[in-house]
Amino acid sequence: MALLQPMKIVARIRSDFPTKFGIPRQSGLVHELKSKIVFEPEFRNVDAVRGIEDFTYLWLIWEFSEAVRDTWAPTVRPPRLGGNRRMGVFATRSPFRPNPIGLSSVRLERVEIDPRLGPVLHISGADLMDNTPILDIKPYLPFVDSHPEAAGGFAESTKDYRLLVEFPEQLLALVPEERRDALQGVLASDPRPSYQNDPERVYGFGFAGLEIRFTVQDGVLTVRQVEPATEK
């Protein structure tokens, strides 16, 4: 039996999320989120992206680098089912898989040719933590990749789930203007694990160099604090 060829990291993403908490659960949920794909030195060749600007969307194949394990389980607890129902790992998009590989559909905004970094892809709608390894990039083909009539399984029941966000003006003013819509979209999609519903608990996550703290009660998320993130 032929052995699999070792995977190479072709690029890494640059996003506003320094940790996993707060990242949208799926790509495309928050279209306003902007990221960049920076190729590794071996792949900084403009010929490698020739023609890519003709595509509106791309598929990113990447590694769940923070979820690498030596073992795997046949069932997982999807967060959107409250964390108390088990489903088959291959019926979910859980990061805890036999091979920790993720798949995301993102919009290609533009291609920049940087004199030092080579081709840089500016994208929107990604669901990846900063510095996530990208294993491959492929064009999204709408005539074969889009299936509007497809059944969404157990995920269908939560696809329209959103929180009402109350963001005090004096705190919103601390967020760079070009990132405000993205941050509010992240908050509306509810960054909490679904099994946590304590109205007294203060949650927090890093975003664009800031620490965002909030509470949630009766479907309303209230931002309590915005401050510069501390260096670790």
pLDDT, position 195: 67
Q: CATH number for the 160-228 domain, one of 1.10.510.10, 3.30.420.10, 3.30.2310.20, 1.10.10.60?
A: 3.30.2310.20
Q: Number of C-alpha atoms within 13 angstroms, CB side, residue 136?
A: 9
Per this entry, what is the length of the chain?
Answer: 232
Give CA–CA dist 212/3, Å, rounded: 46
- Residue ranges of the chain assigned to CATH 3.30.2310.20: 160-228
Q: Are 174 and 208 within 8 A, CB to CB?
A: no
Positions of the chain with pLDDT under 50? none
Q: Are 34 and 182 within 8 A, CB to CB?
A: yes
Q: Are 56 and 143 within 8 A, CB to CB?
A: no
- Residue ranges of the chain assigned to CATH 2.40.30.70: 11-65+100-150
Give CA–CA dist 159/150, Å, rounded: 14
Q: Quote the tokens at residue 123.
A: 């994208």
Q: Which amino acid is at 121?
A: L
- Architecture of the 11-65+100-150 domain: Beta Barrel (2.40)
Give the H or E element holding residue 218. Answer: none
Instruction: Compute how many other C-beta atoms are within 10 angstroms of the C-beta atom of residue 17.
Output: 24
* Look-up of token digits 């390894």: 133
Give CA–CA dist 165/32, Å, rounded: 16
For residue 153, give the DSSP letter.
Answer: G
Prediction pTM value: 0.91
SS3 47: helix
pLDDT, position 128: 96
For residue 150, give the DSSP letter.
Answer: -
